[in-house]
Structure formats: structure tokens, C-alpha cells
């Protein structure tokens, strides 16, 4: 009886938090990066952990040296200060040591930069993101061009949009119209800002993407989302009084759902979004509930 009650309680808890399980977003007291959802972000997370093997020992070593100097060379222990002005061995060590450390950091760093800046020859999809104060406009190229604006979702509009669950659609990060992309497809992203606007920046932490949106200039980057879900980012360049209210939301779905959304969005974007939300949000809730059983 106790096991049955525990199973029921576990199922209810899973259902309660099921909708938030597929949304990548910051959380309180977060110490690390968001989970990787692209090949580049996997490399970034690896490089961050790799650099810690250098940062932590160096920090502890410097701290140890400071303690030794404070204790050993304090005025009471050394009434007559040392007049040492040169030590060849020490100078060789503190010159060669940092050079070797920088070499071990530079090689993987350059490899990561090369991977980020080398654009795929034949991307599966090309999008353009245009920033203005304070919203984003997304343009899909292809046989059926599609363009729409993406604004911060206001609390008064949550019910009408069907986005009342703040675990999935958090305050200050949720938008009225998400960018929708197919999973496991290479996306070429063109980023700019309106000609008369200011500099913005398109940042999506889970994809390892951060690129400036400059008026009159077209910057280019790429990514490939490896899993479905709802991913959040923000403008990361101070762009005016509402800079903090310029979020980015990307919904990654299967190719079939993407094709259906694209076909429907050409005539009615809002209905297409609601249909896609119903399919993706319900599927996640059902999956988690089934696992709980």
C-alpha cells in the first residue's frame, strides 16, 4: 500500500513538473552553463572544464605563495629586509611556465573558434534575424517565405496565448512567437539590426551562439540543434532602456511537425503556433507521465 501511494505521489510530481522538463532556461543559483544542445556547445562545455584544470591549480599555487610570503617575510621574522634582486632559475620558470600553459590553452581554443567560424557549405535552412528596439524579426527563406515579429510575452496575454505555465514559459523570457526549427538540421543564421537602430546581439546559450546585430551589417553564424525542446536566450548587447526585455525563444521540433507548422503559418501564424504548442507540450507531459508509471 505504501509503495502504491509512493508511486502515485511520484506520478503527480512528475506531471506537475513535466512541462518544464523540455525547456532550457536559466534557473536560480545556477553555477554552470546550460545543457548543450548543439555540437559547438558541447565543445564549449568541454573547453570550460578543460581550462579549470589550469585555473584551479594556478589559483591555489598563487594563494600558497601569498601565504608563504606573508608568514616567512613578515617584519618580525625579517628585521633586515633581503636585497635579492635577481634569480635566473626563477625567471626562467616564470617565463617558460606561462608560455607552456598558454600553448595548451591556445590550441583547443583556436580549434573551437575554427569550428564556430567555419560555415557549412550546404545548410539545411537559412534564417535572418533582424533586431530593433526592442524585438526580433525572423525571416524564413525558401519556396514559401515567412516573416514575423517576436515580442516579450506580457502577463496579460498569457491566457490568450495558452502560455500560462511559467515553468515552460518563464517571465521575461517567453515570447509571443517563437522561432521554430527542425531538429538535427544545420541552420545558417544571418543577423543584423534595422538601419536606423542600435547594436544588439543574438545569444542562445544552449546552442553556443552569440553574435552581434549591427545596423547596416550582415553577420553570419550557424548551429545544429541536436534535441527537441524550447530554448531561451536574450539580447546580450546593451541596447537601451528595454534591453532586459528583449528575449529570444527557439522551439525545436521534428521535421514532420516543422513542415506542418510552416505550411499552416503561411496563412495563420497564431493558429499554427497553438497547434504546434498543443502537439509538443502534450507529448512531453504524456511521456513523463508514462515513465512515472
Mean pLDDT of 75-103: 88
The verdict on pTM exceeding 0.75 is yes
What pLDDT is stored for residue 74 in this prediction?
A: 86
Ranges of each domain in the chain = 39-76+93-117, 125-292
In this prediction, residue 31 has a pLDDT band, given cuts at 50, 70 and 90, of: confident
- C-alpha cell read off for 120: 557549412
191-236 confidence digits (pLDDT tens): 999 999 999 999 999 999 999 999 999 999 999 999 999 999 999 9
Beta strands in the chain (DSSP E): 23-24, 125-132, 135-140, 146-150, 179-182, 186-193, 200-204, 209-213, 219-224, 229-235, 247-253
Topology (CATH level 3) of domain 125-292:
Immunoglobulin-like (2.60.40)
Mean pLDDT of 99-114: 95
262-291 confidence digits (pLDDT tens): 999 989 999 999 999 998 875 554 343 333
What pLDDT is stored for residue 285 in this prediction?
A: 43
Amino acid at each position: 500500500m505504501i509503495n502504491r501511494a509512493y508511486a502515485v505521489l511520484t506520478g503527480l510530481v512528475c506531471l506537475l513538473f513535466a512541462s518544464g522538463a523540455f525547456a532550457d532556461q536559466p534557473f536560480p543559483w545556477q553555477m554552470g552553463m546550460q545543457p548543450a544542445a548543439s555540437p559547438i556547445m558541447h565543445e564549449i562545455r568541454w573547453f570550460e572544464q578543460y581550462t579549470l584544470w589550469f585555473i584551479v591549480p594556478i589559483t591555489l599555487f598563487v594563494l600558497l605563495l601569498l601565504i608563504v610570503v606573508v608568514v616567512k617575510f613578515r617584519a618580525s621574522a625579517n628585521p633586515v629586509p633581503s636585497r635579492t634582486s635577481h634569480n635566473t632559475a626563477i625567471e626562467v620558470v616564470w617565463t617558460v611556465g606561462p608560455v607552456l600553459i598558454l600553448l595548451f590553452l591556445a590550441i583547443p581554443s583556436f580549434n573551437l573558434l575554427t569550428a564556430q567560424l567555419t560555415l557549412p557549405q550546404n545548410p539545411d535552412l537559412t534564417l535572418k534575424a533582424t533586431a530593433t528596439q526592442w524585438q526580433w524579426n525572423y525571416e524564413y527563406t525558401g519556396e514559401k517565405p515567412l516573416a514575423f515579429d517576436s515580442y516579450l510575452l506580457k502577463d496579460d496575454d498569457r491566457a490568450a496565448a495558452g502560455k500560462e505555465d511559467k515553468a515552460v514559459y518563464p517571465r521575461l523570457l517567453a515570447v509571443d512567437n517563437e522561432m521554430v526549427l527542425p531538429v538535427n538540421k544545420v541552420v545558417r543564421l544571418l543577423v543584423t539590426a534595422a538601419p536606423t537602430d542600435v547594436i544588439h546581439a543574438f545569444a542562445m546559450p544552449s546552442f553556443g551562439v552569440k553574435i552581434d546585430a549591427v545596423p547596416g551589417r550582415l553577420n553570419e553564424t550557424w548551429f545544429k540543434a541536436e534535441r527537441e525542446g524550447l530554448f531561451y536566450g536574450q539580447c546580450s548587447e546593451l541596447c537601451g532602456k528595454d534591453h532586459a526585455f528583449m528575449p529570444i525563444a527557439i522551439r525545436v521540433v521534428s521535421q514532420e511537425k516543422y513542415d506542418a507548422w510552416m505550411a499552416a503559418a503561411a496563412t495563420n501564424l497564431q493558429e499554427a503556433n497553438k497547434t504546434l504548442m498543443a502537439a509538443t507540450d502534450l507529448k512531453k507531459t504524456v511521456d513523463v507521465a508514462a515513465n512515472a508509471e
